[in-house]
Structure 1
Amino acid sequence: MPAAPRFGVNYTPSEGWFHHWLDYDSGAVRADLDSIAALGVDHVRVFPLWPYFQPDRALIRPRAIEQLLDLTDAAAERGLDVNVDGLQGHLSSFDFLPAWTRTWHRRNLFTDPEVLDGQAAYLHALAGALADRPNFLGMTLGNEVNQFSAGPHPDPDRASAEAIDAWLERMLAACEKGAPGRLHLHAEYDATWYQDDQPFTPAQAARHGAVTAVHSWVFNGTAQRHGRTGIPTEHHAAYLIELSKAWADDPARPVWLQEVGAPAPLIPPEHAAAFTEATIAAALDCPGLWGVTWWCSHDVSRSLADFPDLEYSLGLLTNDRRPKDTARVLARAARTPRGTPATRTTALAVPADPALRSLCAPGGPVFDAFFRLVEDGARPTTVLDTRARDTAHLAARGITAVVAPEQVLPTPPGGTRS
């Protein structure tokens, strides 16, 4: 754990979006990093596009690795540490997968032996190339790769939870072999916590890798149900942080809010700064927070076609590198000294069975009960229902009271809550 939560951004290049790897411009990257460093943040998360770096299973392009090292060195010159995502994977509604895994060469991303060999070699190569850079934080296996493993993806690579366990262990080992002792982790979108049939499980998220990563997006039904200023909307990131702790075996395991942003139109541009401030404040009230990494650094240029409309305006900085009000909020938070949050002593019991995860999703009784407690002025955390009477576990986490959702939620008119 760092002495205080860290602040950073997910780096979206202002010129060419992530296609900039095809026409890498060191000067443009340095100008982008200058505008990021001016915010006072201390790290960036960067995204090599997998098919550009490994277009053939046996070809990891040396020139692409050199460009990634140039970006990493440029970040170091500006006092920025770098986390590198490997298997891109999925970004801003687009899938980027090598041709050797699709169509005529269709092979399962999580179970095919040759694909696994190629992925492990690629992650090992990236980590090994970066290992001697002092500002290299470590590898994230990929960006929300769980979206490839189940619906609503239109063509999922289905796998069992046991197969995903093996995949995570092998890929994290490849990163560790390439760069021993760095902060290697994996990161999924919130279906891991909310979707009953996801083979990427909450236990995997909270037990594999150096930290637990959560990605918070309120377009998942939260803002639609509760509005732009609703407590669940402004505290959704904090909820995911505290929800993740139920599955952790280590009571002190850090949690990284690795992605969070203000998506229009659910969060209108004129309200984005207020949402950013409220979200960060709620997250910082969670003990064990490793850091906050905002999505994203720069707007996507309107000269690029086919993105969902919200993707064009998520940047803290405009496409010509001017800071928005949201950037000023993040910069202020990054520069404000903060004490350690108090322990959360009240825990809401959540189902340990991953087939019941939807109870934790927006509209589910766990979700609603958590925010009823927040509205009442409590600072809840969560605990698995199988650990609700484990006195040693509760004591290690400082929990003194455990409540079930049915104890928190009002009884429906004319009936009883089951």
Structure 2
Amino acid sequence: MSLQTEKSSMRFGVNYTPREGWFHSWLDFDPGKVRADLEQIASLGVDHIRVFPLWPLLQPNRSLIRSQAIDDVGTVVQIAHECGLDTTVDVLQGHLSSFDFLPSWVTSWHEVNVFTDEVAVSAESQLILTLGKALRELPGFSGLSLGNEFIQFAAPRHPQSQKITHEQAEKWLETLFSQAQRVAPGMIHTFSHDDDIWFDSKHPFVPGDAVKFGDNITVHSWIFGTVAPHYGKSAVELTWFARYLCELADAWARAYGTAPRPIWLQEVGAPEHWIEREDIPQFVRDTVLNLRGDSNCGLSPNLRAITWWCSHDVNSDLADFPHFEHSLGLFDQHGAVKPVGQAFAAAIREWGNPGPAHSRESQEIELGTHNRQLLNADQDFFANWVRWAREGQVKRIDIKLVED
């Protein structure tokens, strides 16, 4: 099975965070522990995972791609398949839970721009080719992602932002996607991003890139960016944010003429610093079922998959994480399913048949990439959209492109 499913079929999955050692566990890889984790994940009724090998461990030197590390990734894919799970593998890792993972050959004395330096991009391409070649014949392998929110390295707010133009951003995407498609044709290859791509008018990657490149449009829905700080803890608006982002993704695809495109809600989670712990199960249910819709609005357009972040809590012994990262898991650090995990499993069972999609009233807005911040959650457009949604009318968003 692939993430490019029929419209009547919804896929549910989990972003896999190893219970013991977090992603540092790639250093002392233990297939037995992986199997125990994946059996727990499969028990929730999901059908796929997304995994995150660390770039510095895969390619510690520009000309050295470690065969053992590649084999370990393949072993995870094989174990997942035996547990009934398909696997997407992120390549350039990149960024995870506030930590950056860049190999030494692109930092410090060897610092280069990872998007524009031809030697570095050639090495990135080689890693994609090597992983793709090793995984493409494995049952259950779905495809490659260029890396988890990798484009944040070009974001103006990053502490070591790498300056690039939009043209350079697109050239980087074209180069790496061509390699992925060449080495593993027919698979679902994607790139991921936080919501800066939709809302930050100074970001060199633009909404058009999100809807033109890759085989699915990916959406990462995190309420701690703007919507929760603006509306407050446990506000009802928080449960509509994932649906809103998916509607935006579809709207931009129509604006750029690439619709219909499959949409993958690749990350969505329940951070405890913005949701009261006792409210989290209801937040999970409402977030998922708002995506399903009802007879008034139907399924979120072209949505094909929902993948929760994340599988297991970060162990409390690990230091320097933002506090909420230790509680995002569906399972706790001992492997016991939490109320959030039970709620996600229940929402999957409750999904059933969403209301029929039909013509909806539109909420139109004129904008370009230069003023995309008007779509952010602290703006009137979002406030009106949610108000109508709460009244039973989930509006179709129509973007009328204007010249930048």
Query: What is the percentage of aligned positions where both structures have the same residue?
Result: 42
| 1:340 shift after superposition | 5.8
| 1:109 shift after superposition | 1.0
Structure 2 distance, partners of 1:331, 1:188, is 26
* Cα offsets for 1:94-125 (capped at 9, x unmatched): 00001111110110011110111011111111
Q: Larger deviation: 1-10 or 107-116?
A: 1-10
Structure 2 distance, partners of 1:380, 1:114, is 47
Q: Quick one: which of 335, 352, 355 aligns to 2:370?
A: 355
| 1:252 shift after superposition | 2.0
Q: Quick one: which of 51, 56, 61 aligns to 2:56?
A: 51
Q: Quick one: which of 375, 381, 385 aligns to 2:396?
A: 381
Q: SS at the partner of 2:33?
A: helix
| 1:184 shift after superposition | 0.4
Q: Quick one: which of 319, 323, 343 aligns to 1:305?
A: 319
2:171 aligned partner = 166
* Cα offsets for 1:164-192 (capped at 9, x unmatched): 11111111111111111100011100000
- TM-score, length of structure 1 as denominator length: 0.90
Structure 2 distance, partners of 1:253, 1:341, is 19
Work out whether 1:316 is the aligned partner of 2:324.
no
Work out whether 1:251 is the aligned partner of 2:266.
no
| 1:284 shift after superposition | 2.2
* Cα offsets for 1:337-356 (capped at 9, x unmatched): 32464135222223441110
| 1:326 shift after superposition | 1.3
Q: CA distance change for structure 1 residues 351 and 58 in 2, over 3 Å: closer, same or farther?
A: farther
Q: SS at the partner of 2:362?
A: strand
2:271 aligned partner = 263
Structure 2 distance, partners of 1:344, 1:144, is 34
Structure 2 distance, partners of 1:109, 1:297, is 30
Q: SS at the partner of 1:32?
A: helix
Structure 1 stretches of 5 or more lacking a match?
388-418
Structure 2 distance, partners of 1:375, 1:53, is 47
Letter in structure 2 aligned against 1:381: R
Does the Cα contact within 8 Å between 1:146 and 1:192 map onto a contact in 2? Answer: no
Structure 2 distance, partners of 1:201, 1:381, is 21
Q: SS at the partner of 1:332?
A: helix
Q: Quick one: which of 125, 133, 142 aligns to 2:130?
A: 125
Q: What RMSD over aligned residues (CA atoms) do the two structures have, in Å?
A: 1.4
1:402 aligned partner = none
Structure 1 distance, partners of 2:317, 2:107, is 29
Q: Larger deviation: 116-125 or 377-386?
A: 377-386
Structure 2 distance, partners of 1:208, 1:87, is 17
Q: SS at the partner of 2:147?
A: strand
Q: Larger deviation: 73-82 or 133-142?
A: 133-142
Does the Cα contact within 8 Å between 2:250 and 2:260 map onto a contact in 1? Answer: no
Structure 1 distance, partners of 2:306, 2:356, is 15
Letter in structure 2 aligned against 1:314: L
Q: SS at the partner of 1:259?
A: strand
Q: SS at the partner of 1:258?
A: strand
Does the Cα contact within 8 Å between 1:188 and 1:214 map onto a contact in 2? Answer: yes
Structure 1 distance, partners of 2:301, 2:358, is 7
Work out whether 1:276 is the aligned partner of 2:284.
yes
Number of aligned residues: 387
